[in-house]
Amino acid sequence: MSEPCPVTRRHLQYVADRTRADDDFLVDLKAAAKAADIPSISIGAAQASLMQIALKAARAVNVVEVGCLAGYSAIQMARALPPNGRVRTIELEPRHAAFAREWIAKSNVAGKVEVIQGAGVDVLKTFASDSADAAFLDADKENYPKYLDECLRIVKRGGLIMADNAFAFGQLFADVPDESGVHAVRRFNDYMAAKPGLHGVIAPIGDGCWIAVKE
């Protein structure tokens, strides 16, 4: 086996420079979200491409997301789906959900994305078993194990489970992390890696993105 290459910021920029960039609509969406005081914590364009490629390869039609924020990742995922594709995205904060609805309505995937306002754990429980081909977890880290268990019920066999921030906001190895979610991410990474019937890998892109197949 050749020596693994440590991934640096320079590598990530190199990857980003060779990946589809955000179009004008998505650039405007991110700028408007910032102006509306919505935190700038959506995934980046290179991670969106990785997820779109995975969704296309899996021929996904129905996708579930926990953590919509301004709608960026939901729109990007919807763009990778066929015409009958659908993204159900869950968002706790009414202000974020309202912003996302407004921008999704103006997007080229308006009919494909439904924003459901509520807590991830509660809303996921209402979704039927085997009703999705893929799920993306990108909300409060403490609840990731619960989201994973619910999504393993909701996502069909052969479907995808993706989860953001596996590198814990860049603090995975910090001795004294200054983010409360870091310990939760570490626990989740171990939980996900040990989950029977799930074949996953952390792609070192963005803040680390889990991509797994439900076997």
Question: For residues 69 and 160, which CB has a smaller minimum distance to ligand SAM in the complex?
Answer: 69
Q: Applying CB under 6 A, which of residues 26, 42, 50, 62 lies at the interface with ligand SAM?
A: 42
**Interface with ligand SAM, residue 26, by CB under 6 A:** no
Q: Please list every residue from 49 through 78 that binds ligand SAM, using CB under 6 A.
A: 66-67, 69, 72-73
**Interface with ligand SAM, residue 141, by CB under 6 A:** no
Q: Applying CB under 6 A, which of residues 88, 91, 168, 212 lies at the interface with ligand SAM?
A: 91
| DSSP codes joined into one string, the chain | -PPPPPP-HHHHHHHHHTSPPP-HHHHHHHHHHHHTT--S-PPPHHHHHHHHHHHHHTT--EEEEE--TTSHHHHHHHHTS-TT-EEEEEES-HHHHHHHHHHHHHSTTGGGEEEEES-HHHHHHTSPTT-EEEEEE-S-GGGHHHHHHHHHHHEEEEEEEEEE-TTGGGTTT-SS-SSTHHHHHHHHHHHHHH-TTEEEEEE-STT-EEEEEE-
Question: For residues 73 and 107, which CB has a smaller minimum distance to ligand SAM in the complex?
Answer: 73
Total number of residues binding ligand SAM (CB under 6 A)?
19
Shortest gap between Cβ of 125 and ligand SAM (angstroms)?
A: 12
Question: For residues 98 and 119, which CB has a smaller minimum distance to ligand SAM in the complex?
Answer: 119
Shortest gap between Cβ of 196 and ligand SAM (angstroms)?
A: 26
